[in-house]
Amino acid sequence: MVTNQHPQLLRLVEIVRRLRAPGGCPWDRKQTLQSLAPFILEEGWELVEALEKNDLEKIREEVGDLMMVTLMICQVAEDEGKFDLEEAARGIADKLVRRHPHVFGDAQVSGAGEVLERWEEIKKEEKAQRPESDQSALSGVPRSMPALLRALRMGEKASRLGFDWPDARSSMDKIREETAEVEEELRKGEKKGSERLFQEIGDLLFAVANAGRLLGVNPEMALRATLDRFDLRFRRMEKDLGKPIREASFEELDQAWNEAKEAIRREEREEGGEKS
């Protein structure tokens, strides 16, 4: 139970309970565990965006929104007699204590790397006690994750067992190999959108994600940053082109794109922070 030491958290718990109670909000009352899943994803990514911008006010707001959805899930589960907030909190608290014996016990670790190794060892021990659970080393990576982030996490888990490229240069060779396979399918005359091209493009993206991991770059965040740059440059090109994009030639578009890119870089330098 949330105590009076956290009055606003207790207030939020009570508000969520009231929304779900008889006479509460019709929309909240009809929610299910399944219907709330999209809201967790939406609020989570809104928090990610606020964190990327380092907008502290927005971070605070989005943390609250995500907290609200989490509490709503716990309340729905309690209403259905499955579990409640107290059980969820107890479960994660017990897990954190169990997986941090170097903090809550007598174990010693040499650094963050050893902490991760020990974490995986403890997880493996926990799984062994639950034979009905997924015993694979790749378990715990949800399919609902964005694909590049899922690729990163799966690569990390496989790497901890020694299943990995020896170095980043080898991963770049894999990218070239996968690119050649895409080109080979094109030479064979594979039609646009074919199953073979579908598979080969997927292999290429996975290879790129692994290379990013070995180079210390989160591929999901890197692509998000690239999309932000593309969005900024494209909008600048639209503004400066002087005609609808559909009416411009390839050469005109190429020139306008390069001019937009250079103009943005120049403005960023003048602001004192050149970006790539």
Q: Is residue 275 very low, low, confident or very high in pLDDT (cuts 50, 70, 90)?
A: very low
Q: Check: CB of residue 172 under 8 Å from CB of residue 132.
A: no
On whether both 27 and 88 belong to a single domain, the answer is yes
Q: pLDDT tens digits for 83-133?
A: 999 999 999 999 999 999 999 999 999 999 899 889 888 988 888 888 888
The pLDDT tens digits of the residues spanning 218-264 come to 999 999 999 999 999 999 999 999 899 999 999 999 999 999 999 99
Residues 13, 70 within the same domain: yes
Structural domain contains residue 156: yes
Q: Which residues contact 156 (CB under 8 A, 6 or more apart)?
A: 213
In a domain, residue 136? The reply is no
Q: Is the confidence at residue 55, as pLDDT, over 60?
A: yes
Domains contained in the chain, number = 3
In a domain, 128, yes or no: no
Summary mean pLDDT of the chain = 92
Whether 4 shows a pLDDT value over 80: the answer reads no
Domain interval for residue 237: 221-270
Is residue 71, in this structure, part of any structural domain at all? yes
What is the rounded distance in angstroms from the CA atom of residue 193 to the CA atom of residue 186? 11
Give the CATH number for residue 155: 1.10.287.1080
Q: Which amino acid is at 82?
A: K
Share of the chain above pLDDT 90, in %: 81
pLDDT of 166-177, one tens digit each? 999 999 999 999
- The whole-angstrom separation of Cα 168 and Cα 185 is 26
